[in-house]
């Protein structure tokens, strides 16, 4: 359990470093090398934190009751959702496909897996599971709305709007950690 919570904490830190990288590299009107110098270091730190957080968040736990959804089903649903959203956002909304879609769907899939596993380990009650599912769902919906709207916004508004999913996803993971700690 501690490793899963550590993974979530590392992913929160990952979001913070990603925000700094975004702020430094994507500010409208600025010409900056996003992959070199300090920005390159920040991006490498972001990737390292992301991988470490992912591995720890998926750490094996002892299931004391049945999973709400099996990890395999959650992964399959995540893959299907990615391709469905790729087609929907591209063809229904004219949105060019970027890495952010993979990150949004991947994060949501990961968090649903974490929730199901925490429930199976009795670290969450049914009400806690439902509450956190709603928090993660809200973060996902907001992220998708901003993903679709990004290229339709004025540059400075889009720049700041692109930060919101990182903030809401970090907040959702913080709420998850807090809920588990309070339940335990």
Per-residue pLDDT of the chain (184 residues; tens, 9 = 90+): 899 999 999 999 999 999 999 999 888 988 777 788 999 999 999 999 999 999 999 999 888 988 888 889 999 999 999 999 999 999 999 999 999 999 999 999 999 999 999 999 999 999 999 999 999 999 999 999 999 999 999 999 999 999 999 999 999 999 999 999 998 6
> What is the Cα–Cα distance from 32 to 39, expressed in whole angstroms?
9
- Give the CA-trace dihedral at 73, 76, 82, 83, to 10 degrees: -140
Angstrom CA distances, 184 to 25, 106, 156, stand at 41, 27, 43
Number of domains, the chain:
1
Tokens of 60: 């094996």
How is residue 29 annotated by DSSP?
Answer: T
The pLDDT assigned to 136 comes to 98
Residue 105 burial (C-beta neighbours within 10 Å; 0-12, 13-18, 19+) = buried
Domain that holds residue 29: 2-183
């Amino acid at each position: 359990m501690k490793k899963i919570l550590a993974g979530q904490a590392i992913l929160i830190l990952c979001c913070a470093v990603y925000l700094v990288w975004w702020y430094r590299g994507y500010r409208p009107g600025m010409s900056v090398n996003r992959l070199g110098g300090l920005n390159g270091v920040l991006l490498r730190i972001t990737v390292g934190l992301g991988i470490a957080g992912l591995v720890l968040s998926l750490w094996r736990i002892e299931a004391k009751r049945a999973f709400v959804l099996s990890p395999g089903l959650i992964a399959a649903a995540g893959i299907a959702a990615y391709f469905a959203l790729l087609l929907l956002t591209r063809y229904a909304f004219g949105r060019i496909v970027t890495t952010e879609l993979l990150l949004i769907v991947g994060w949501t899939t990961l968090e649903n897996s974490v929730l199901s596993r925490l429930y199976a380990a009795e670290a969450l009650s049914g009400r806690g599971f439902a509450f956190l599912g709603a928090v993660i769902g809200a973060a996902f919906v907001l992220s998708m709305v901003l993903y679709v709207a990004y290229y339709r916004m004025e540059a400075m508004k889009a720049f700041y709007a692109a930060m919101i999913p990182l903030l809401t996803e970090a907040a959702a993971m913080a709420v998850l950690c807090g809920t588990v700690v309070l339940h335990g």
